[in-house]
Amino acid sequence: MPGKLKAKIVAGRQLPVMDRASDLTDAFVEVKFGNTTFKTDVYPKSLNPQWNSEWFKFEVDDEDLQDEPLQITVLDHDTYSANDAIGKVYIDIDPLLSSEAATVISGWFPIYDTIHGIRGEINVLVKVDLFNDSNRFRQSSCGVKFFCTTSIPRCYRVVTVHGFVEELVVNEDPEYQWIDRIRTPRASNEARQRLISLMSGELQRKIGLKVLEMGGNAVVGYLQCFDLEGESGLVVRAIGTACTLDKLSSLPTAALPAFPQHDKNCILSVPTPTPPLPAGMGSGGSVGKEGGPLKTLLRQQTQTALEQREFPFFTLTCFPPGFLVHVGGVVSARSVKLLDRIHNPDEPETRDAWWEEIRQEIKSHAKALGCHAVVGYSESTSICEEVCILSASGTAAILNSRFMQEGCLDSYSEHRLSQQAVFFSAGSERGEFDMFLQSKDSSASLGLEEPSPPSCGFCHIPYDELNMPFPTHLTYCYNCRRQKVPDVLFTTIDLPVEAAITGKGCLIQARLCRLKKKAQGEANATAISNLLPFMEYELHTQLMNKLKLRGMNALFGLRIQISVGENMLVGLASATGVYLTALPSPGGIQIAGKTPSDIAYEQHISNMQKKINDTIAKNKELYEINPPEIIEEAVGSPIPEPRQRSRLFRSHSESSDEVWELDLSHGKKDAFVLEIDDTDAVEDIHSLLTDAPPPVGKSGTGPHISQLQMLTEDLMFTSVRVFRLSNVNMTNQGLNKIFNELCENLLKSLYFKLRSMAPCCLCHLNFVVAVPEEDLIQVSLMQPTLTPQLDPSQSSRSPTTISENEEQLQFPLELCTESPSSQPFSPSKGTGTEGWTVSTSVDYSSFADRCSTWIELIKLKAQTIRRGSIKTTSSQEKASPLPEGRSRSLRSTKSCSGSTVSVVKMTPLPFLPGTKIVKYLGIINMFFIRETTSLREEGGVSGFLHCFIAEVFSMVRAHVAALGGNAVVSYSMKECVFMENPNKNQAQCLINVSGDAVIFVRESELEAPTAPPHTSVAQNAGSGADGTT
Amino acid sequence: MEIMSVELDVFVGNTTIMDEEVYQFWLDGYTVSDAVKVRMEGGVLEECEASAEVLQSDTMDQYRTFQMCERLLHTPAKLANQLLFQIPPHRQAMLIERYYAFDSAFVREVLGKKLSKGTKKDLDDVSLKTGITLKSCRRQFDNFKRVFKVVEELKGPLVENIQTHFLLSDKLARDYAAIVFFANNRFETGKRKLQYLSFQDFAFCAGQLISNWTVGAVDNMVEDMDVDLDKEFLQDLKDLKILITDKDLLDQHKSLVCTALRGKTKVYSEMEANFKNLSRGLINIAAKLTNTKDVRDLFIDLVEKFIEPCRSDRWTAADMKLFLIHYTNSAHILDTFKHQVTWDRYMGVIKSCILKMYHD
C-alpha cells in the first residue's frame, strides 16, 4: 500500500437552488477515488453548506494515484426520488506526488456541470502520504516532474538531456459507445471527461516510466494531444523531452541573473571538456578528408550518443547557450491515413506504427541536412470524418554533446574510443564536413573546441557544401566571416538567446485555402494527399515572399498547420521573421510579365514593381533593418541575384509507403521573380501587399517599443471565430482572399482591443485553424500575450549592471509620459541617449528570444501611447472613481476578498516578464465538455462559447490557486472543438488546456534578501487559497 | 451577395477586460448597433485604423461580458468572491459604482413613489418624458427596488448598510439612502409646484430627516431605524401648537423676532405683516405630521405655506436665513413655552430644508 490519499470537504458556497419550494438545497458530497466512495452528511437547507467533514482516507497503489483523478460530486439530497447531481470537481493529484512540487491542495473549486456550467463552489483539502517503494519493477513513476514549458524551466539546471519520449493510449469514445442512445448526452459527456482524465493520468505515468528507464527525473516540453477519432475511438498521445534536472535552490537570489544565464554559468564553470588532440589514433587516416579532428571528434561523439537513440528528437524550442551548434532548417512530414476502428485498445499498434513511420521520415530528412538531431519538434493531427492528416515538424540541428551524457565530462575520454569507431563509418559515408573547417583549426587547436562565435555559430551550415541536400546559395557568415551560411533560414525553435539580430521582428503569416471535391474513403485520402504538396509549396512561397517583402532573412517558431474539412483544405503558417545579422541581406522581389506585350501592360508591371520596392523600403524602416554595409568579398557568390533555396524538407505519404520529396526550388527558375501570367498571380501579389502591418498611427512616427514593463494586469486572451461561407461556387482564389481577410481582421480586432495598452508587444500569438463543418472555417487566436514594453529582463544581463538597470527602469517611464512622440526610441536616431539606445537593441534581442515565437509590435499615435504608459504606473489611483475615504474602505474589502480569490496570471510564455519563478507546482492538464439544449437562451453560439471559455479560465485559476500557485506559464489551449445544431437549439464544445502551475515573485521584491520572500509568498498563496470558512 | 458570414466571434481574457465607454453605452441602454454608431462618430476608428466590423465585434464582446456580469452586480459583494471573472479590484469598484449610478432626471420621476410593479409599468412614460431608454430606466428602477428590499429589514444605520451590501461610494450610498427613505415614506415630490426642486435638494432634506427625525436619531440598533420617522416625536410636535393657539405667545414671539430683524432686512415690513401666517403655516405642518397623509405632503406644504409667500414678497436667501434663525431662537426666550427640545429638533430640520429648497 504505497500511498494514502486524504481528502476533506470543508464547505460550499453559492450553490444553486435545487428545491424550488424552499429556494434552498440539501447538499451532500460524494468523494470518489478508484472504486472507493465516501459521503459527507447532508447539510440541510442551505446554499452555503458547512460540511467540515472528517478526513476521508483512500489507501491506494501509487499507480492508481497517477492514473486516477479525485472525483468530487456535489448532490442534492432528495428523500423520495433520486438525488440530483449539482456538479463535479475533478482534482488531478499528480502534483502532490513529487516531493518538490505542491504539498497540499486546498481551496475553492468551481463545481462544474456539463449542462449548467459552474454552479457554486466547494472548498476542499487534499493531501497524500507516500510510502517509500522499493519495488524495482513498479508500474508507477511517481516523482517524475512534468513541464509543458519548452525550455529548461527556470530555477532548474539541466544535468543531462536524455531525449525523446512518446506514448499513446487508446480507448473507445463513450459518445460513440452508446450509440443506442439509452444514455443522455450529459451522461456520455460526463463519462468522456472522466475517461480522458483517466487516460491522461495513465499516459503521464507511462511516459514517466520511460523517463525513469532512461535515468531521467523530468519531462520538459511535454505536449499532450487528443485525437477524437469518432467511431474509431479516442487517442491520447504525448511527446516530450526526458531530462535530468537539478534544482537551483541554495543560490542567493540577488546574485542570480535571469534564467538563461544559469545555464551558461554552470556550463562555463565546468572546465571545458577539451580533450587533447587525438594523438595519432588513426583519425588522420579516416577523417583525413574532414581534416578538423577536434571538431570532428566532438561532433562524432554527439552523433553517436544521439544515434543510439531511436529518435534524436527534442521538443524543446529554447536551449541553454552552447547546446545548439548548427541549425540545418525545417524538416516536416505529413501523412494521410484512413481511420479504422481500433480493435484492441491495449495494443494500439496501428497508431504507433503511423507515428513511427512519420518520425522515421523526419529523422531521414534531418540526416539529409547533415544533422543528427531534430529540435523544436512537435506533432499534430487534423481529422475530418474518417480521414486523418498526421503531421510532424521540427528543426534539423547539430547539438553539443555535453548535455547528452550523464556525468559528461568524466566519461568523456572513456567513451571516446569506443564511439570513435562508430563514427568512422557513419562520418565518412556522410562526408559532412565542409572544407573551411581546416582553416579554423588553428583557432580550434588553441584549446577552444567551439570556434564559432555564439552569435552566429548556429547559422553556419551543418551540411556539406559540395553536396548540398537542396539548391541553396551560400556566403561567408556576415558575422564571423569564417564559415558559410545560407541566405535564408527557417526554424521551428525560438530565436537563440545569443543570436545577433538587426532591427525588430514581426509576425509573418502565410494563408491558403484549397477546395477539394467531397469524397469518401480511399478516394478522399488520395485527393487530399495529392493536394498537400501543392499547399506546402504555396505556403512556403508565400512565407518566402513575405519575408523578402519585410527585408528579413530568417523565420523562427514556424508552425505550419494544414486542416482538412469536407470540401476544403486550409493551410496556415505563422512565424516570427527577423533579420539575422549573420545572414546576407535578402534580395528584392522582381516581377516579370509573361510575354512581352503592349506598353500599357509593361507600365502596369513596372508600377507593381515600384510598389513592391517601396513596400520593402518602408518595411526596412519600420523594422529598423539597417545592416551595416559590408563590402562583398571575393569569397561569396554575388548576392544581387538571389535564388530560391528551400530549407523546407518535407514529404507526404499516403496510406501506401510511397514517399517523395518535393523540390521547392522552382526548378531552375529564379524564385523571386514573380511571374504574373494570369489574374490569379496578380491577386497573389495584391494580397502580398495588402498584409496590414500593425497599426502605426497615421503619422507613422510612434515611438518604438523597447522595454518591457512590469505587467500590472494580466493579459491573456483567447479568441475564437467561426465563419460560414455561403457561396457555393467558390473558387480557390476567392476562398483565399476571404481566408486572408479573416485572419487580417482577427489581427486588426486584436490591435483594436489592445489599443489602450500601447505601446506594447504581442508575442506568442497562436493561430489555429479548423474546418469543423462544410462551409465553416474556425480560426482560433489563442493566448496572445500582451506585454506592455519595458525593461526588465534586464537581469538577463550580468549582475554587475544591476544598478544601471534600475536607472533604465525609470528612464523609459519618464520618456513615455513626457515626450511621447518626438522621441523615437530607435537605435539609429538616439545618439543623444547613448545608454538608452544600446539597451534598446539589447533588450529587444533578449526579449525576442524569450518571447518569440511570434512577435508583433504595436505602435499607436502619440496620445494613445501617453495614455498607455501612464496607465501602467498610475492606473490604480486614477481608475478609482471613489473619493479618498471610500476608496480606503474599498481597499480593505479588496484585501479581504484576496483571501478567498487570489489572482492567478496566465501566460503562454515560459516566464512572466519582470518576475522570477521560484517554484514549479506541477502540470495543469484539464479537459472540459460543455453542452446546451437552450442555445438561443444562452446568447447563441457566441454567448455559449464566451461563457464556457470564461468558465475554463476560472477552473484553471482555481486549481492553480489550490496548489498554492499564482500563475500558469506555458499555458495553451490545445483543443477547442465546437459543434452546433441550431435547429435543435443545441451546441456542444470541448476544450483542452494545459500549462505549468508556478509561484512567481516580482523581481523588485527579490532585490533584497533571499529565501524568506519565497516561502512567505508560497504560504500566502496557500493560505489565501484556504479561504475563509 | 454576402459570401461569408460570421457565425461565432468571441474574445475572452483571463483578466476580464472592459472598455468604460462601452460600459456606459450598455448602461444607458444603447443597442449594439447604436453603440457602434456612436463609437464610430467618436473617432476611435481613425485613431486605430480599425474597420466598422472590428468595432461591431468588440462591442458585441463587451456587451456579452456585461450581461454575464450583471447577475453578479445585483449582489456586488459576490463580485469580489466569485471565481468566474478575474477583475482587478479597482475595476470592480468602477463596475459597481457605474451600475448603481442613476440619472437625476429619472430619479426625480420616481422619487417618493412606491417601488412596485405598478410604478414599473409606467416606466415607458418616464422613458418618453426623460429621453432615457426604457432599458436604462428599468435598470435604475430595479436598482432602487433591490437596495430598498435589502436594507428594509436590516438593523443599523441606513447609509452604512447600503455601503456594506452594495459597496457603493459614500456619496452614492447617501443618495440611495434618500431614495429608500423617500420611497418608504412616500413623500410627494411630483406636484407641479415641486418641479423646480432637484434630486439633490430632496436628497439633502432626506439626510436631515434621517439624522434628526427618525427612530435611529435616538436609538441606533432598531430595525428600520433610519427609514421610519420617530412616532413619539411626531406626537410631541402637537405640543408646538401652543405657539399659535396661545395669543400671548404668538404676539411675544412675533415681537421678539421683529426686534431682532428690524433694520437688518429690506423685507421687514412684509415679514412683520406676514409673521403670523408664516408661523401658523410652519406649526400647522408640525402638528399634522402624525397623519401619514400629511407626512407625504411635507414638502408640498412647506412650499405652499411658507416658501411661496416669502418668494412673492421677494425675500432673498439671506433674508430667509436671518428670519429662520431668529424665529427659532426667539422661541427659547418665551417663558411659558416648555417644549424647547421638540422645537429644536423640529426647527433644525425645517430650517435646513427650507434654506435648501429656497431657490428658483
Task: State whether residue B54 sits within 8 Å of chain A by CB.
Answer: yes
Residue type for position B28:
D
Taking the Cβ of residue A776 and every Cβ of chain B, the question of whether any pair is shorter than 8 Å is answered with yes
Higher pLDDT among residues A230 and A122, named by residue: A122
Question: Residue A681: which pLDDT band, with cuts at 50, 70 and 90?
Answer: low
Could A953 and B4 be called an inter-chain contact, meaning their C-beta atoms sit closer than 8 Å?
no
Higher pLDDT, A241 or A475: A241
Q: What's phi and psi for B141, nearest 5 deg?
A: -65, -45
The residue-averaged pLDDT of A630-652 equals 41
* Strand A766-770 versus strand A967-981 pairing type: unpaired
Torsion angle in degrees (nearest 10) through CA of A177, A178, A180, A181: -150
In angstroms and rounded to an integer, the radius of gyration of the C-alpha atoms of chain A is: 29
Q: Tell me the C-alpha distance between B64 and B82, whole Å.
A: 18
Predicted confidence (pLDDT) per residue in B159-193, tens digit: 888 998 999 999 999 999 999 999 988 998 988 88
> CA A129 to CA A643: how far, in whole Å?
64
Quickly count: other Cβ atoms within 10 Å of residue B85's Cβ. 22
What is the mean pLDDT of the segment spanning A812-825? 30
Are B203 and B175 in contact, with CB atoms under 8 Å apart? Answer: yes
Q: What is the pLDDT of residue A152?
A: 85
DSSP 3-state of A1011: helix
Does A848 score more than 60 pLDDT?
A: no
CB distance A724–B4 less than 8 Å?
yes
In this structure, what is the dihedral angle of CA atoms A602, A603, A606, A608, given to the nearest 10 degrees?
-110
d(CA A142, CA A839): 45
Query: In the prediction, which pLDDT does A426 show?
Result: 30
A675, β-bridge pairs: A592
| B57 close to A (CB below 8 A) | yes
Lowest mean pLDDT among A300-314, A486-500, A545-559: A300-314
pLDDT attached to residue A177:
56
Report the alpha-carbon distance of residue B132 to residue A879 in Å, rounded. Answer: 26
Which residue is associated with the grid cell 432626471?
Answer: B105
Q: What percent of chain A has pLDDT over 90?
A: 17
Q: How close are the terminal C-alpha atoms of chain B, in Å? A: 61
> Is the CB of A880 less than 8 angstroms away from the CB of B93?
yes
pLDDT computed for residue A55 by the predictor: 94
Comparing CB atoms, the residue among B4, B16, B64 nearest residue A725 is B4
CA-closest candidate to residue A626, choices A459, A475, A823, A828: A828
Query: In the structure, what pLDDT confidence band is assigned to residue B49 with cuts at 50, 70 and 90?
Result: low
Strand order in the sheet with A117-130: A36-39, A27-33, A70-76, A84-91, A105-113, A117-130, A3-13, A56-60
A676 touching chain B per CB within 8 A: no
- B4–chain A nearest CA distance, Å: 4
Phi-psi category of residue B216: left, alpha or beta, with phi > 0 → left and psi -120 to 50 → alpha = alpha
| pLDDT tens digits for range A132-148 | 655 545 667 777 889 99
Strand partners, A969: A996
Nearest CA in chain A to B97: A881
Pairing of strands A716-725, A673-676: unpaired
Measured between CB atoms, which of B14, B90, B169 is closest to A886?
B169
Confidence of residue A502 (pLDDT cuts 50, 70, 90): confident
Flag whether pLDDT at A849 surpasses 70.
no
Q: Band of the pLDDT at A816, cuts 50, 70, 90? A: very low
Q: Does B105 touch chain A (CB under 8 A)?
A: no
The alpha-carbon gap from A24 to the nearest alpha carbon of chain B, in Å, equals: 18
Q: How many CA atoms lie within 13 A of B358 on its CB side?
A: 26
pLDDT given for residue A344 in this prediction: 63
Pairing mode of beta strands A218-228, A145-146: parallel
* Average pLDDT of the segment spanning A636-645: 38
Minimum mean pLDDT range among A1020-1024, B77-81, B203-207, B344-348: A1020-1024
Q: How far is C-alpha A204 from the geometric centre of its chain's CA atoms?
A: 19
Residue that wins the pLDDT comparison between A813 and A69: A69
In this prediction, residue A242 carries a pLDDT of 92
Q: Which residues pair with A591 in a beta bridge?
A: A674
Candidates A874, A908, A692; CA nearest to A786 is A908
Return the higher-pLDDT residue of A177 and A627.
A627
Query: Would you call the peptide bond into A471 cis, given omega within 30 degrees of 0 as the criterion?
Result: no
Q: Is A110 on the interface with B (CB under 8 A)?
A: yes
A-B contacts at Cβ under 8 angstroms: 193
Over residues A616-633, the pLDDT tens digits come to 888 888 777 776 655 444
**Which residues, including other chains, have CB under 8 Å from residue A402's CB and lie 6 or more apart?**
A267, A273, A322, A408, A409
| A324-338 vs A387-399, strand pairing mode | antiparallel
In this complex, do B13 and A716 lie within 8 Å of one another by their Cβ atoms?
yes
CA distance A207 to A204: 5
Three-state SS string across A349-389, please? Answer: HHHHHHHHHHHHHHHHHHHHCCCCEEEEEEEEEEEECCEEE
For the ranges A79-83, A187-191, B105-109, B262-266, which has the lowest average pLDDT? Answer: A79-83
**C-alpha–C-alpha distance, residues B164 and A815, integer Å:** 42
Average pLDDT over chain B reads 88
Contact B7 A724 (CB under 8 A): yes
pLDDT in tens, A754-784: 776 655 566 667 778 888 777 778 887 765 5
B109 vs B220: which has the higher pLDDT: B109
For residues A897 and B81, the answer to whether their CB atoms sit within 8 Å is yes
**Among the ranges given (A172-181, A651-660, B235-244, B258-267), the one the predictor scored with the smallest mean pLDDT:** A651-660
**Assembly ipTM:** 0.87
Cβ–Cβ contact A897 with B under 8 A: yes
Mean pLDDT over all residues of chain A?
69
Write out pLDDT tens, residues A373-431.
899 999 999 988 888 999 999 999 888 776 665 443 333 333 333 333 223 323 333 33
pLDDT of residue A733: 80
The segment with the largest mean pLDDT, out of A272-281, A667-676, A808-817, A831-840, is: A667-676
> Where is pLDDT greater, at A281 or A461?
A461
Q: Which residues of A369-394 are buried (b: 16+ CB within 10 A; e: fewer)?
A: bbbbbbbbbbbbbbbbebbbbbbbbb
The pLDDT of residue A73 is above 90 = yes
Report which of B8, B18, B14, B3 is spatially closest to residue B57, judged by C-alpha positions: B8
pLDDT score at A348: 65
> Minimal Cα distance from B68: which residue of A?
A947
Measured CA angle at A672 (ends A669, A675), to 5 deg: 75
